[in-house]
Chain A
Amino acid sequence: MMTEIPDEAALALEFDVFARRAGLDIPADRRAGVFAGFKDLRRMLALMRQPRTAAHEPAGTYSILSVTRGL
């Protein structure tokens, strides 16, 4: 689960899989920096799970009006 932080070896494997799936060829001299950023993000994502109640519905992420207004 994204809310649990795996150990370093598992994180490294997860990172390599993610990079391949994203089509990224991370240069060897950049790997350490990108991996550090990846670990920071995983820690942040672990904070995200919050209870969802009826007050959080519907998801207002998209409005057709924002597209049609420009036509």
Chain B
Amino acid sequence: MTAIGLDVANLSLVQAAEAVRQGEVSAVALLDACLANLDAHEEAVNATIWVDREGAFAAARAADAEHAAGGPIGSLHGLPLAHKDMYYQAGRRSTCGSAIRKDFVPSYSATVIERLAAAGAYAFAGLNMAEFAQNGTGHNRHHGDCRNPWNLSYITGGSSSGSGAAVASRFTFAALGSDTGGSIRLPAAANGVSGIKPTQTRVSRYGVMPLSFSADNVGPLARTARDCARILSVIAGYDPRDPTSAEMPVPDYEAGLNGDLRGVRVGVPTTYFLDDVDAPVQAAFEASLAVLAGRGATLVPLKLPLMDAISTYASVVSRVEGATIHAEWMRKHPHDFATHINARLFASLAIPATYYVEALSRRGPILKAFATEVFGQVDLLVAPTIRICLPSIAATDVDNGPPGTEQVAMGISINTRPFNYLGLPSMSIPCGFDPNGLPIGLQISGRPFAEGAVLKAADAYQRDTDWHARRPAIPAA
């Protein structure tokens, strides 16, 4: 039953949650709508690894019964969500996008999954991803490549490939991804959705497959900045089971979304982030600046310090830590990794420990210098999420492509990776389309624990644009 009379799967997460709260739509109806889109387009997009329909309907019916009984409900009551298949859910398979873990069933659940459930949401599918979150394109030899719903020949970005594609395709209202070098922001940009990598330590990583102890982040992808704000308000905060998580208080991120950017200084880089940028990306980026200025923001041209060093140190840290985590599997099961994962992980064992320690030890002083020189002048920093027009799946197929393909694939994350090393909050929202009809992303980054400011700017931008509301016309497989 619905008084809305439209495709409820096209609602934003916040709209759907409010519709459930008001009794305008049932949780079962939301699930039906999501599954109808999934059944129609999953063969083309390949966004899921597993789907639990029986469990989903049981959860949806329970949510409806609970709502009918009266009493308080959570901010995500009755919402069907799906997550990158590396968030452990007790008793449910978690493949981590790999062959090695194809039968892995964890005995415990991730804190973020429990927090979302406490807010009333339920998880009904495990989403496709790069193998062990190890690429930025979404290629996956074991589960099939995830394909971009805007054009099936193109990449979805990774490693949270299925999260970006599933949200864009209206299979789910939101999805958790993870981000160690861009893996939330890249699929957000590539699929025309919104995704935020919070400040390092803002969100618990307990029960989440690790890639890099120093750089992993948990965060949502959804259709709007407001949706991301709602989810972040639920999942952020100290977790005693993850002692690295921050004890900083969690604000109500939604409450601060008032569209007013007066007094906000937005840094526009004159170095690094726009080097060799494709013309359509540059045009979309410049148009975005006008929108932010129209909301009252002051644009400040900025030269950025230390960017090449940051990028190198970021790679060393994440590669060494990733290789350490996978060392035994590499020794015992070398053929169970895709070839490009071998190349990335195996070689990383050759990095001397002294280089790793050096890369880590520079992190604090570099962040201090960056905070002083950049965020001493501005409140936010903007840049294109990806410098180039989105490449095709074939052009970035490292395992089967000509020499030089890896450089194309690695170049995708050149604008996102620095914010992982710096530990800063960083978000991507859609800001246009390229000549091939693929989305372009605008990256907004802020000071430590300034997720509120980042989300506020993103939401303000989305009040004056409709890129985030557009929906792909997905062709048949």
Contact = CB atoms under 8 A, between A and B. Distances in A.
Given A2-B355, A22-B350, A45-B351, A30 B312 contact: no
A33 B343 contact: yes
Given A25-B331, A48-B359, A41 B365 contact: no
Contacts of B365: 55-56
B335 interface: yes
Given A2-B352, A61-B361, A27 B319 contact: no
Interface stretch (B90-98, B240-248, B469-477): B240-248
Contacts of A10: none
Interface in B281-339: 308-309, 312-313, 315-316, 319, 327, 330-331, 334-335, 339
A61 B319 CA distance: 16
Contact of B346 (A24, A56, A66): A24
Contact-residue bracket for chain B: 35 or more
Nearest to B201: A66
Interface in A31-63: 33-38, 40-42, 44-45, 47-48, 50, 55-56, 58-61
B357 interface: yes
User: Would you call the interface of chain A mostly helix, strand, loop, or mixed?
Assistant: helix
Contacts of A67: 243
A37 B242 contact: no
Contacts of B340: 33
Given A23-B331, A69-B243, A18 B349 contact: yes
Contact of A66 (B243, B308, B344, B363): B243
B350 A18 contact: yes
A61 B352 CA distance: 16
A44 B351 CA distance: 10
Interface string A1-28: 0100000000000010011001111110
B343 A60 contact: no
Contacts of B344: 37
Interface of B: 240-244, 247, 308-309, 312-313, 315-316, 319, 327, 330-331, 334-335, 339-340, 342-344, 346-352, 355, 357-365, 399, 403, 406
Closest 8 CB pairs of A and B: A70-B243, A37-B343, A59-B361, A37-B347, A38-B347, A60-B364, A61-B360, A33-B343
